[in-house]
Amino acid sequence: MSELTVGDIVAERDFHLTRDSLVRYAGASGDFNPIHYRDDVATSVGLPGVLAHGMLTMGIAAQPVIDWLGDPARVVDYQVRFTRPVLVDATDGALVRVVAKVGAVDEDSARIDLTVTFEDETVLGKAQLRIRA
């Protein structure tokens, strides 16, 4: 994968999440935890408000990389750590920014590192895709 250079940005995209996005993801994934759509439940368990599903953030974060790669079969591994919640305001939603950079390259594979931010703070740790040539 000699055409890639460590540090190169291969893809980036902004996602505007709204409460509608969370309801849609709840239905699609089957994760109906009410902290993702009810403020009263979220605040009753000590959260500042309704949060995006961590798996929704993980899901959107891979998308720019898949679109850049063309073939999803080139992804052999995808991992993230959930480090900070994405608060989704009822009116304004939340803007999530994804930047994908080449983290490491060898002959037949590469590691793509994702920086996923909300309000200028990263929300995923060790967010990496391993891809093959």
Map the footprint of other proteins across residues 31-90, applying CB under 8 A: 31, 45, 54-56, 58-60, 62-63, 66-67, 70-73, 75-82
Our CB check for other proteins shows the closer of 56 and 102 to be 56
| Cα gap 119→121, rounded to integer Å | 6
Q: Does 104 bind other proteins (CB under 8 A)?
A: no
Q: How far apart are CA 95 and CA 87, in angstroms?
A: 10
Do 92 and 36 contact (CB within 8 A), yes or no?
no
User: Which residue lies nearer to other proteins by CB, 35 or 102?
Assistant: 35
- Provide φ and ψ at 45, rounded to 5°: -105, 15
Contact 7, 58 (CB under 8 A): no
By CB under 8 A, name the binding residues for other proteins.
Answer: 15, 21, 24-25, 27-31, 45, 54-56, 58-60, 62-63, 66-67, 70-73, 75-82, 126
